[in-house]
Amino acid sequence: MTRHLLEIDDLSRDELLHLIALAEQPSPRRCLDGRGVGLVFEKPSLRTRHSTEMAVHQLGGHPVTVQGVEVGIDTRETAEDIARTLSCYHAAIGCRVFEHGKIERVAAAASVPVVNLLSDEAHPLQAIADVLTLRQELGGLEGRTITYVGDPNNVLQSLALATGMLGMQVRVACPASHPVPELMLDRIAASGVALEVFDRPTAAVAGADAIYADVWTSMGQELEAVQRRHDFEGFTIDEALLEAAGPDVIFLHCLPAHRDEEVSAAVIDGPRSRVWEQATNRMHAARGALLWLLEGAAR
């Protein structure tokens, strides 16, 4: 059976740890030697495109990237036919899509592994980079606490699954106007992760080892940006909030960031910020995921 990585809970805890170990290998086997990986982006990307293309290169392969508008997913041809076509040329496929259901259709039709490069529900490669960063910064994750502040979105779902499966206490602070969706709560609970939900950030960060932010307006929600800036007032991560957490707390953000919206410039550009370590780890995460999908996964 071909395995795919559409969300962190496609992996068991042991598989996640195996993938992380592969990501941490300094000189992995060049398992893509002479082969390609097809990458399709329906949304903009800086980190994901560059880190994935470089990961393919480091494994001896060749990435071929196209934008969604070039191939016309479900307009020029169906997502299924695109998956079947890319499977003729490539050892793996990566897709960034709006609707999560679309990448599920790609995976169902592909005969090679498919990795989710972000959908409206999930961002698993980001979460793997986040746990690589947390391990580097905190050592063991068991019993440590991470607090996500802001919009309960795709990044939160994958982060909560990954950190919770590795034994962290996971908290989220979001306004009552943007509650954690029931489906997300159910999915996280089904993985055995107990997400603690707060409606104000200060109590949520007390004693946290890491505080995490993402944008308030995700790609595709741009028309809601003004309303969202209003809705998330009071949820900016600033130096006072870091102080409420404690002196050793680190700050994480998947990027891109909007300074003085979800995070103050003083925090993201300050001494507690580890956002560039996270960005670096995106490449290691992509390499680990490809290695696991191509060689490590039980079939």
Cβ closest to ligand CP, residue 81 vs residue 277: 277
Residue 281 as a binder of ligand NVA (CB under 6 A): the answer is no
Q: Which of ligand CP, ligand NVA, none interacts with 46 (beta carbon under 5 to 8 A by kind)?
A: ligand CP
Rounded least distance, CB 127 to ligand CP, Å: 11
Does 215 bind ligand NVA (CB under 6 A)? Our answer is yes
Picked from ligand CP, ligand NVA, none, the partner binding residue 234 (CB below 5 to 8 A depending on kind) is none
**Cα–Cα distance for residue pair 147/167, rounded to 1 Å:** 14
Q: How far is the CB of 26 from ligand NVA (least distance, A)?
A: 27
Is 214 an interacting residue with respect to ligand NVA (CB under 6 A)?
A: yes
Interacting partner of 188 out of ligand CP, ligand NVA, none (Cβ under 5 to 8 A depending on kind): none
Q: How far is CA 212 from CA 10, 69, 74, 238, 288, in A?
A: 23, 32, 35, 12, 23
For residues 48 and 119, which CB has a smaller minimum distance to ligand CP in the complex?
48
d(CA 238, CA 285): 28
Binding of ligand NVA by 153 (CB under 6 A): yes
- DSSP state string for 231-279: HTTT--B-HHHHHHH-TT-EEEE-S---BTTTB-HHHHTSTTB-HHHHH
Closer CB to ligand NVA, residue 155 or residue 208? 155
Residues linked to residue 196 through DSSP beta bridges, in sequence order: 171
Q: For ligand NVA, which stretch binds (CB under 6 A), given 68-76, 101-109, 214-222, 269-277?
A: 214-222
Of these, 52, 157, 218, 264, which contacts ligand NVA (CB under 6 A)?
A: 218
Q: Angle 154-165/13-23 helices, nearest 10 degrees?
A: 100
Site membership for ligand NVA, residue 219 (CB under 6 A): yes
Residue 24 Cβ, how far from ligand CP at the closest point, in Å? 20
The answer to whether 134 and 164 are in contact (CB under 8 A) is no
Nearest to 154 by CA among 120, 183, 191, 201: 120
Footprint on residues 243-262 left by ligand NVA (CB under 6 A):
254
Q: Which two tokens stand for residue 33?
A: 């030697």
* Nearest position to ligand NVA, beta carbon: 218
CA distances from 75 to 65, 71, 72, 94, 104 (A): 19, 8, 5, 19, 17
For residues 170 and 213, which CB has a smaller minimum distance to ligand CP in the complex?
Answer: 213
Q: Rounded to whole angstroms, how far apart are CA atoms 102 and 6?
A: 11
Assess whether the previous peptide bond of 256 is cis (omega < 30° from 0).
yes
Residues that bind ligand NVA (CB under 6 A): 118, 153-155, 214-215, 218-219, 254
